[in-house]
Chains A and B, each alone.
Chain A
Amino acid sequence: MKKFLVILILAVLGFHLFAAFSGLGFGVTRFEKGVKDFYLEKTVSELHVANTVTSIVVNFRGFDTLGEVTVLFLAVSAMGGILYKRRHHAGDRSVLFSSSSIVRSGSKLLFPAIILLGVYIFIHGHLSPGGGFQGGAIIATGFLLMLIAYENFSVSHNTLSYIESFAGIFFVVIGLLGFMNGGTFLQNFLPAGILNNLFSGGVIGIIYVMVGFKVAAELTGLIYTILHEKD
């Protein structure tokens, strides 16, 4: 009965949503001059950043990203706080499984490659698809793999915390430096460089690297926390 009701309600909702969105048109230009045109123009002409998404994420809407990073930080902290227990023995894992040697060897083999890929992705965030978040996530996957493969693989919680904090501090400080140099928060105060070079886009690349570190540390810490959760 309840399910029927829910389906009915959802059908109505779906109908309205669909009616609304299908009227929007697909793949057409809907507005004369939105912000995207400005972004597409300026990202090349002023920021010298190839990846427009990166320039938007880190510069035009960099404030969002700062918030986003904070959300991640909060989420990890919140997990730590929520799962906190009075007598907490570090190193005890709640999820214990023995992996086969294939997995172990494969992981060992793959781990550096994964880390390298991640680092590549967030270093080239302003040039090619990807960026700090993606790279960070990939790095965290590497650690996940290692944690799955090795029961006693451990990451120093403090190290993660340092990386996390320093990266965050660096982000804000870069923003504040922009504030002091150029007048507004997160303003680019470094030379923009040449488009499609690694050292281009001013602070954008640096910030994205920081974000990469931070995301990697946070996701790893997150996995680590859950993995060490005991009943």
Chain B
Amino acid sequence: MVGSPVLLIAIPLLAAFVIPLIGMIWKELVRIIPGLVLAYMLILSATLLYYVSQNGIIVETIAGWQPPWGINLVFSPLTGFLATLMSALGFLVWLFSYRFKRNVDFEPAKKYFIFLMLLIAGAIGIVITGDIFNQFVFIEITGISAYALTAFYTGRNSAEASFKYLMMGALASSFLLVAIAILYSQLGTLNMADIASKMHTMNPTYKIIALIFFITGIGIEAEIFPLNGWAPDAYTEAPGPVGAAFAGIVVKAGVYAIIRMIFTLFDIPSAYDFLIVIGLITLIVAETSALRQEKLKRMLAYSSIGQMGLVIVAFGIGTHEGVFAALFLMLNHAVIKPLLFFSGSSLVFNSKEKQIAEMNGLGKRMPLMAAFFSLGAFAIVGLPPFAGFWSKLSVLSAAANEGLLLIIVLILIVSVIEIVYYFRVVNRIFFQEYSREKSAAPHRPRVNALVAMFVLAIAILVIGFYPDAVTGILHNASKDLLNTDEYINNVLQLGQSLTR
């Protein structure tokens, strides 16, 4: 054992408290320490994930109280996979934004890295915790860091976006509390495994009402359709890497929370159908809205929402293939969308309005950025031999196995729309005349940003050409999600109890 899951939370929190002190000594450390912490988290979660795949689920208790009494952290193949993914992405986001906007004053920069680190710590907390109220706390940590990150730029409309996000977030936390109240009042416990094991004793009406409030509360984070009004604004106005972090990390945590509720906690089979329907609506509304966007990041935001809709649909299929496909989609989306955000924000870096129209002919001026963006676009619309293809294929084949032909048709129609708007941008970048004024000359990204993008691009290619590199992990994770009984047993009997 190299460490325990709790360090994934404790270390970033410790660092967050330490940074203001250290920042007074040497300012550069403020930028560096979060990176080191994220790198540590990546290494730790990756090792733990390997350990878990060999030895079974880790259940870590807090303060020495066994579940269901104490708060516990569950590091299973599923949560471990997501935690690893998030910390890896977090590290890349850090790498990309290291020295990002150096002209920004020191004070906001300091905060930026703290928020980023806590955002990721919070998201990981959402994933690995085994207690619903604790999850609520982590949702709030993630939320407040996200509001702060959204409002990072002082010059633009970021406060507006942030305020909308905050309004929705506050409603979300209220609804979550209501749901928690109902659950607690009925079952007298807050531990997920305990709730799951007692769920059959609960009055169905309360069960459904609790589920509704849960879905609404977490759905705001997971960007399901009528609840995602904040998302496009926040993605647009936040700095590019933060958009990547939202798309790659925060939403994933939200989706995880929803599916954990539906798969493990609540035994309501029709909730799966609900997931499919709401996912499809999200998918369709988001992708059609993305079609006519004028701002690049906004387009990417809608695309991201759409992808999440697709993920939810895939989860809603509910079979092993469906869950596998959904996790695969999450993985691919977490790899591809950050690349799009990184390269896209570099492409529109110096333009004022961040309009797509301003990207004309940048392919010749910034060939590498343009190539990365196109790679991302190719991958996200699911063209082989890039990463997105395999996940799309697995979604469709999962749906086909269940005979859900209509879903396949809808997904494919939406994919066509997706192709239209992505390729409009790619066309602009590569095949149209350069049209920017001199003042908005192309921006040259620094080495660290390039490295971050290279890593993502290589990941896209590797997954595309050799999907087996990840399918094993994903299969384990989806088995883990579907096996509710094992989860309950593991947690309540401390399956792989953590002793040092």
Contacts and interface: CB of A to CB of B under 8 A. Distances in A.
Given A59-B63, A164-B20, A74 B148 contact: yes
Given A67-B125, A67-B141, A71-B141, A184 B17 contact: no
Listed residue (B69, B115, B131, B190) with the most chain A CB atoms within 10 angstroms of its CB: B69
A77 B21 contact: no
B458 interface: no
Given A59-B65, A66-B13, A84-B105, 10 more contacts: A31-B187, A35-B188, A66-B10, A71-B137, A162-B21, A166-B21, A168-B17, A171-B17, A185-B63, A186-B62
Contact of B148 (A62, A77, A168, A171): A77
Nearest to A36: B188
B137 to A, nearest CB: 4
Contact of B188 (A30, A59, A179): A30
Contact of B141 (A21, A23, A74): A74
Interface stretch (B106-114, B259-267, B274-282, B352-360): B106-114
B111 A78 contact: yes
B159 interface: yes
Interface in A56-105: 59-64, 66-68, 70-71, 73-75, 77-78, 80-82, 84-86
Interface of A: 16-17, 20-21, 23-24, 30-36, 38-39, 42, 59-64, 66-68, 70-71, 73-75, 77-78, 80-82, 84-86, 158, 161-162, 164-166, 168-169, 171-173, 175-176, 178-179, 182-188
Contacts, number: 179
A85 B144 CA distance: 20
Q: 6 tightest A-B contacts by CB? A: A34-B188, A168-B17, A78-B148, A31-B188, A67-B137, A81-B111
Contact of B209 (A20, A164, A175): A20
A172 B17 contact: yes
A178 B141 CA distance: 23
A60 B62 CA distance: 8
Contact of A62 (B62, B140, B154, B498): B62
Nearest to A88: B107
21 contacts: A24-B185, A31-B186, A33-B188, A38-B69, A62-B62, A66-B10, A67-B125, A71-B141, A74-B141, A77-B148, A81-B148, A82-B148, A165-B17, A168-B13, A169-B14, A169-B21, A175-B10, A178-B64, A179-B10, A185-B4, A187-B63
Contact of B145 (A74, A85, A161): A74
Given A61-B134, A168-B16, A77 B111 contact: yes
A228 B140 CA distance: 27
Given A77-B114, A77-B148, A35 B141 contact: no
Contacts of A32: 188
A41 to B, nearest CB: 10
Interface in B175-194: 178, 182, 185-191, 194
A49 to B, nearest CB: 12
Listed residue (B20, B118, B162, B498) with the most chain A CB atoms within 10 angstroms of its CB: B20
B151 A81 contact: yes
A78 B144 contact: yes
B182 A20 contact: yes
Given A30-B188, A77-B148, A86-B105, A184 B18 contact: no
B258 to A, nearest CB: 20
A184 B73 CA distance: 11
B6 interface: yes
Interface string B1-43: 0001010011001101110110010000000000000000000
Contacts of B114: 77
Contact of A67 (B105, B138, B186, B190): B138
Contact of B68 (A35, A84, A184): A35
B70 interface: yes
A61 B71 contact: yes
Contacts of B162: 82
A176 B10 contact: yes
B141 A161 contact: no
Contacts of A42: 65, 69
B206 interface: yes
A64 B145 contact: no
B6 A172 contact: no
Contact of B69 (A31, A39, A73): A39
A61 B111 contact: no
A75 B9 CA distance: 18
Contact of B71 (A31, A64, A165, A168): A64
Given A64-B71, A66-B13, A168-B16, A188 B189 contact: no
Given A60-B63, A78-B144, A35 B69 contact: yes
B67 to A, nearest CB: 10
Contacts of B62: 62-63, 184-186
Interface string B130-163: 0101100110110011011001101000010010
A75 B140 CA distance: 10
Nearest to B17: A168
Contacts of B112: 81
B108 A84 contact: yes
A45 to B, nearest CB: 13
A31 B187 CA distance: 6
B499 interface: yes
B287 interface: no
A52 B99 CA distance: 48
A141 B460 CA distance: 54
Contact of A78 (B13, B68, B69, B147): B147
B241 to A, nearest CB: 16
A139 to B, nearest CB: 19
A200 B277 CA distance: 55
B307 interface: no
Contacts of A85: 154
A86 B106 CA distance: 10
B275 to A, nearest CB: 22
B61 interface: yes
Nearest to A72: B144
A169 B64 contact: no
